[in-house]
Amino acid sequence: MMRESGRIVGEVLALMGGRIRPGITTQELDILAEEYIRSQGGVPAFKGYGSDKRNLFPSTLCVSIDDQVVHGFPGPRQLEEGQIVSIDVGVKKGGYFGDAARSFAVGRVSEEKQRLLQVTEEALMKGIAQAVAGGRLYDISGAIQEWVEKRGFSVVRDLVGHGIGKNLHEEPAVPNFGTSGTGILLQEGMALAIEPMVNAGTYRVTVDTDGWTVRTADGKPSAHFEHTVIVQSGDAEILTR
């Protein structure tokens, strides 16, 4: 069931990659994503999510542009040449969840932004490579942090990856920083959403007055890549390709 939810998530992100261009609104992307998820028998996992019933997340996608790290609201804003945009999507189907994110260049972007995208995606794969039964949780965290910081960027500390399954967010928390060789023992069959959030400047972030949108404290751009994976004795299985 998680493979099925993950398949839909991966297909949504591929669909977004084919539609992202200067001039499209973030609301258009959100509508397209919801229509596709429902056409596949899934339910948007983020829509209506939250602990504060007075301020539930309103949309299918989190769409976060440039200095927005995560949890940006879709709306009438048009994408512009030179921006980077993170699309985060979750799907529930058959009682199980999938969750993934990808950051995209909108048209031509600066060399720094292109490098930020590359390093963040590479960091995700470095982390996934450590999601092996018999290893330790912070093997994942340490690999991500080392890859990012050696390349002059920073990992967000206020937000983390997570376990996933019958709930969108489950234990354990999966930080993007930590000491390799420590943390809980990774066991075959564990499902993890690994998601480095990488900033061009400081790792510090702020939250907008909407209670959701997270931004870099210094206004520099941020990138976000995420996969849902299953821990195995060999390479982890990526459910959200």
What whole-number distance in Å separates Cα of residue 45 and Cα of residue 57?
10
Give the confidence band of 46 by pLDDT, cuts at 50, 70, 90.
very high
pLDDT at 155: 98
Quick check: 156 and 207 in contact, CB under 8 A?
no
Give the confidence band of 107 by pLDDT, cuts at 50, 70, 90.
very high
**Residues facing residue 206 across a β-bridge:** 215
pLDDT at 238: 98
pLDDT at 59: 98
Burial 155-170, CB ≥16 within 10 A → b, else e: bbeebbbbbbbeebbb
Domains and CATH numbers, the chain: 2-238 (3.90.230.10)
Question: 145-154, pLDDT tens digit by residue?
Answer: 999 999 999 9
For residues 29-47, average pLDDT? 98
pLDDT at 26: 98
pLDDT at 241: 94
Question: 169-183, pLDDT tens digit by residue?
Answer: 999 999 999 999 999
What whole-number distance in Å separates Cα of residue 174 and Cα of residue 193?
8
Give the confidence band of 126 by pLDDT, cuts at 50, 70, 90.
very high
Q: Which residue has the tokens 């980077």?
A: 84
Burial class (CB in 10 A: 0-12, 13-18, 19+), 60: buried
pLDDT at 61: 98
